A and B are shown apart, each in its own frame.
Chain A
């Protein structure tokens, strides 16, 4: 699976958009970008994933650059409950056991 690089921490004011970057310069053609988050002491929670097109769901938007070497997770209106560690993961969506490789992620702190 391709390696990912994320900033260790970010701050965001409540109500503003949180933009979390991820570099994955060695991504290969069949690898998807997944985002999970882990709110303090809880199990990780799936947010969104994509291959090359931008994706949006009720939680977030995912913007993938045209060369697919980086992506950005956007939380459009961050709230205090979005304070968490956000993990960017790159792996094939092969349909076999989804073994996820978690790095250390980005710790997002949303403040008043």
Chain B
């Protein structure tokens, strides 16, 4: 298994541009989440999904959209990039049930907005 994969690894955007951060997992996990991590800070939850077709907002959802059309993929869309969205973005997945506590994280996407 590849686990959780994220693309791209690095991205530079200009203010106002839009883009999609890709996330995929091959573990058949029902739950997927997006977090952002600013320098020196812990991770903050942006959006999450409990299954295909179901998404919900986390702690810091403004400026981001998500959709979950398949179990495997959970893309994060930046609608109009702002310098405040400069951050490292992590995607995570975890199974339902007794082992739902263990989240598997991707390697991250480092985004800079100028």
Binding site for B on A (CB under 8 A): 32, 34, 36, 41-46, 49, 87, 93, 95-105
> With A87-B42, A105-B42 in contact, is A95–B105 under 8 Å at CB?
no
> With A93-B100, A95-B97, A98-B31 in contact, is A43–B106 under 8 Å at CB?
yes
Q: How large is the interface on B (under 10, 10 to 19, 20 to 34, 35 or more residues)?
A: 20 to 34
Binding site for A on B (CB under 8 A): 4, 31, 33, 35, 40-45, 48-50, 56, 58-59, 88, 90, 92, 94, 96-98, 100-108
User: Would you call the interface of chain A mostly helix, strand, loop, or mixed?
Assistant: loop
> With A95-B97, A97-B31 in contact, is A46–B102 under 8 Å at CB?
yes
A41 to B31, CA, bound (A): 23
| Pairs across A and B, CB under 8 Å, 15 listed | A36-B103, A41-B88, A41-B108, A42-B108, A44-B90, A49-B101, A93-B100, A93-B101, A97-B50, A97-B56, A98-B33, A99-B45, A101-B45, A104-B41, A104-B42
